[in-house]
Structure 1
Amino acid sequence: MKLTVSLGFWQDRPAEEALRTAQAADELGYPEVWVGEMATYDAFALATAIGLTTSRIALTIGPLAVAVRDPMMIAMGAASVADLTGRPVRVALGTSSPLVVERWHGRPHAGSTKALAEAVDALRPLLDGAKSDHLRSQGYRLRLPAPHSGLTVAAFGPAAVRIASRADRMVLNLITPASAARLITDLRARTSTTRVAAWVTAAADPDQAAIEQFRRAIVGYLAAPGYGEMFAEAGFPDVVDYARTHPHPRDLLTAIPDKLLESVALLGDSIESRLAEYAAAGVDEVAIVPVSTEKDPGGARTLRALAALNAESV
């Protein structure tokens, strides 16, 4: 199985550790780093910094919220990073959440699935340097060299899986192997060529700080449609029911058992067996999201521990 790296942007950790994670991934021979976007760095700016401070690693930028960034902005950003860094640049797209789209950006989240489908259609010619005739980017052509970026679509529900079947790669985030297997079965009913990646949180030697860091990151997903049902199916219906009563986050944190975390992560001695479960589900690539703590800044120790498993991808 191919192993790549995704930046974690962990709460309560210095923002600049994202760059440290990418540099460690490059030094350890990982072939690709995923540069997402949360509350700190602009994704294109961070990707450029990574490209200028590493030696070889390829860049995937996103998933970018299609209700926030239009196809022309995304194509220009990808071409800018590729031109400034000389690195292969891929683009990942997603619908993001109502919190990010509506509250942070003041844009409507309704219609994001349609925007996702339109973005895939519009970006194909743009990223290849053609003049666009799509309504969302009409008449624009890149002035920089075309990056010829591959497209990845973040999916969780059936509609996004249908759209991902037209992309080069589908990515699944925070998912159990069983749920991944169902989504991949749906994808394979449509296409045999779209590769599948899964973002999976990892800690090679998890101490309590690492466990608590991940526990805080997972709180917002427990009551979410789809995710709640996934965790209930994994054996934690009581936790999901409690989360849907909207308790104080502090109280919900204490109700999350370690076993729930293990259902969607690579932790300690179970890493190799868990990777085998994802492979059996049909996942082609696991993007490691290393937990960052005081003991393991930027997750570099975790990446080093998993690098030995990455021989087939370099």
Structure 2
Amino acid sequence: MRLSVSLGLWQDRPAGEAVRTAQIADEHGYPEVWVGEMATYDAFALATAIGARTRRIALTVGPLAVTVRDPMMIAMGAASVAELTGRQVNVALGTSSPVVVEEWHGRSRSRAGTALREAVQALRPLLDGEKSAFSGTMLTSNGYRLRLPAPRSELTVAAFGPSAVRAAALADRMVLNLLTPASAARLITDLRLISPATKVAAWVTAAVDPDPAAIEQIRRGVVPYLAAPGYGEMFAEAGFADVVRYALTRPHPRELLARIPDALLESVALIGDSVEIMDRLDAYAEAGVDEVALVPASTDADPCGEGTLKALAERPAPAGGEDPPS
């Protein structure tokens, strides 16, 4: 199984750790770093900075919210980073959350699934250097061609529901976030019925031999998902129906945090020693995941997730599988 790295962009850590985490990934031979966008850096600016401070690692920018950034904007951004860094630059797309799209940006998420599918269709020719000629029901781009060299980016779609899976079938990769191997297997089965060739990646938070602060960091990251449609059902199926029922009462986040057992975290994260984590990686591989993008926890005991990334870069290769990233 291929391992890459996704920046955690942890809100309880200094923002600048994102660049250092990417440097560590580069130093230990990981082939790709996923550069997301939350409340700190612009994703294209951060990707450019990473490209200037690393030697060889490829960059995937996103997921970018398709109801916030239009196809021309995304294509120009990807081409800019590729030209300025000399790296392979890929693009990930998603629908993001109501908080980000509707509250932060003041945009509508209406028919976001349609916008996601149309973004893939509109971006493919743009990223290959062709003149845009796309008019959809949600997105339109006509008459623009990149003046910079075409980045020929691989397109990835962040998916969870059926509409996003259908959009991912048009892309090169589908990426899943915070899923149990069983839930990942069902989505991959749905994808394979439409597109046998689309690769599958999964973002999975990781902490090798974690200290208590790392466990708490991962626990805080799970809180928003417990009452979310689809995720709540997934956690209930995994044996945590009592926690989901409590989350649906909308308690104070601090009170919900105290109710989340370590076993729930272990159902969707890579936590433990190297042997335990290898078993979890095997479970994702058996579910059909081709690539795990490690999201390393970062604490004072393991700043930037360096210990975790080093340990997993040095893991033994699975039987019949790929060599470790380093």
TM superposition score category, shorter chain reference: over 0.9
Quick one: distance in 1 between partners of 2:241 and 2:33?
34
Amino acid at match of 1:236: F
Q: Where does residue 65 of structure 1 map in the other structure?
A: 65
User: Which structure 1 residue ranges, 5 or more long, are not aligned?
Assistant: none
Amino acid at match of 1:285: E
Amino acid at match of 1:297: P
Q: Where does residue 166 of structure 1 map in the other structure?
A: 170
Amino acid at match of 1:189: L
* Contact 2:82–2:151 (8 Å) recurs in 1: yes
Quick one: distance in 2 between partners of 1:189 and 1:109?
27
* Contact 2:158–2:176 (8 Å) recurs in 1: yes
SS of 2:264's equivalent? helix
Quick one: distance in 1 between partners of 2:133 and 2:214?
49
Q: Are positions 1:268 and 2:277 aligned together?
A: no
1:11 shift after superposition: 2.2
Of 220, 223, 226, the match for 1:219: 223
Cα deviations by residue, 1:210-269 (Å, 9 ceiling, x for unpaired): 000111111001000001001000100010011011000010000000000000000112
Amino acid at match of 2:303: P
Q: Where does residue 130 of structure 2 map in the other structure?
A: 130
Of 277, 283, 300, the match for 2:289: 283
1:205 shift after superposition: 1.4
Quick one: distance in 1 between partners of 2:111 and 2:299?
38
Quick one: distance in 2 between partners of 1:123 and 1:223?
33
Cα deviations by residue, 1:6-45 (Å, 9 ceiling, x for unpaired): 0001121000001110000000000000000000000000
Q: Where does residue 49 of structure 1 map in the other structure?
A: 49
User: Which structure 2 residue ranges, 5 or more long, are not aligned?
Assistant: 318-322
Cα deviations by residue, 1:72-116 (Å, 9 ceiling, x for unpaired): 000000000000000000000000010110011100111211110
Quick one: distance in 1 between partners of 2:325 and 2:93?
23
1:312 shift after superposition: 4.5
Quick one: distance in 2 between partners of 1:87 and 1:205?
33
* Contact 1:11–1:213 (8 Å) recurs in 2: no
Q: After the TM superposition, which of the residue ranges 9-18 and 72-81 deviates more from structure 2?
A: 9-18
Of 183, 188, 204, the match for 1:179: 183
SS of 2:201's equivalent? strand
1:126 shift after superposition: 0.1
SS of 1:137's equivalent? strand
SS of 1:156's equivalent? coil
* Contact 2:313–2:325 (8 Å) recurs in 1: no
Quick one: distance in 2 between partners of 1:153 and 1:271?
26
Q: What RMSD over aligned residues (CA atoms) do the two structures have, in Å?
A: 0.9
- Structure 1-normalised TM-score? 0.99
Alignment of 1:235-250 (within 5 A): 235-250=239-254
Quick one: distance in 2 between partners of 1:235 and 1:245?
18
* Contact 2:90–2:155 (8 Å) recurs in 1: yes
1:313 shift after superposition: 4.5
SS of 2:41's equivalent? coil
Percent sequence identity over matched residues? 74
Alignment of 1:1-314 (within 5 A): 1-135=1-135, 136-269=140-273, 270-309=276-315, 311-313=323-325
Quick one: distance in 2 between partners of 1:252 and 1:94?
28
Q: Which runs of 4+ in 1 moved over 6 A?
A: none
Quick one: distance in 1 between partners of 2:162 and 2:111?
15
Quick one: distance in 2 between partners of 1:68 and 1:205?
39
Quick one: distance in 1 between partners of 2:287 and 2:245?
27
Quick one: distance in 1 between partners of 2:190 and 2:73?
31
Quick one: distance in 2 between partners of 1:259 and 1:25?
28
Quick one: distance in 2 between partners of 1:42 and 1:225?
28
